[in-house]
Amino acid sequence: MTLTPDIHTELDQRRNQSFPQTARFMGDKQLAIDLDLTAVEQLSSSLSALRLTPPSTANLSLATLEDWAKDLSQRLTYLLENVSPIEIDPASQKILVRSSQPSQQGKTKEYYEMLLSVDPQGCLSLGRYQISGTQANRQPVDLVFTREVLIRLMNDLEESFNQLVP
């Protein structure tokens, strides 16, 4: 099933409202997708974060997350940068997926970061970060997507989850 009609309707209803707001979408297997919206316009949306929360019946394992990270790396090629798993932590049951090659303008770099986790309170979180020049700490920046890219991303995340989790 596709989330496309629900996403269009929800984004249309939230245009020109005050933000921040969180929009929740429910997928086929009760996968919750939360968008922390900071702006919604006719052709694009800005988010501070995107989160997936699995149903309580999902039996996630580190091996499943590894397969999921690989699938997402191959599937999400339309983002500003390609992403790939960079760290697997068996102790915490988490996988860090990040932009393979961050975007760079002058001394400023921006990159996607996705954390996959066995945690039933949230199995995926996606954010974007910026680091400038000699600045030691990264700063979160909004994820900005055209409506088409956001819809494709949400449908791809749901489809990928559905294929890997029984």
Is the pLDDT at 126 greater than 60, yes or no?
yes
Please write the tens of the pLDDT for every residue from 71-114: 999 999 999 999 999 999 999 999 999 999 999 999 999 999 99
Q: Chain-wide mean pLDDT for the chain? A: 93
Reduced 3-state DSSP string for 90-124: CCCCEEEEEECCCEEECCEEEEEEEEEECCCCCCE
Question: Residue 118 above 80 pLDDT?
Answer: yes
pLDDT at 18: 94
Task: Say yes or no to pLDDT of 69 above 90.
Answer: yes
Confidence of residue 1 (pLDDT cuts 50, 70, 90): low
Report the b/e string of 106-122 with b at 16+ CB within 10 A: eeebbbbbbbbbbbeee
pLDDT at position 9, please? 94
**Percentage of the chain surpassing pLDDT 90?**
81
With tokens 């707001």, the residue in question is: 21
Burial class (CB in 10 A: 0-12, 13-18, 19+), 94: middle
Domain residue ranges in the chain: 4-164
Residue from 74, 39, 64, 35 nearest 51 by CA: 35
Q: What's the pTM value of the predicted model, to 2 decimals? A: 0.93
Could you tell me if 117 and 97 are in contact, meaning their C-beta atoms sit under 8 angstroms apart?
A: no
Residue 149 gets which letter from DSSP?
Answer: H
Residue 29 scores a pLDDT above 90: no
The amino acid sitting at 98 is: R
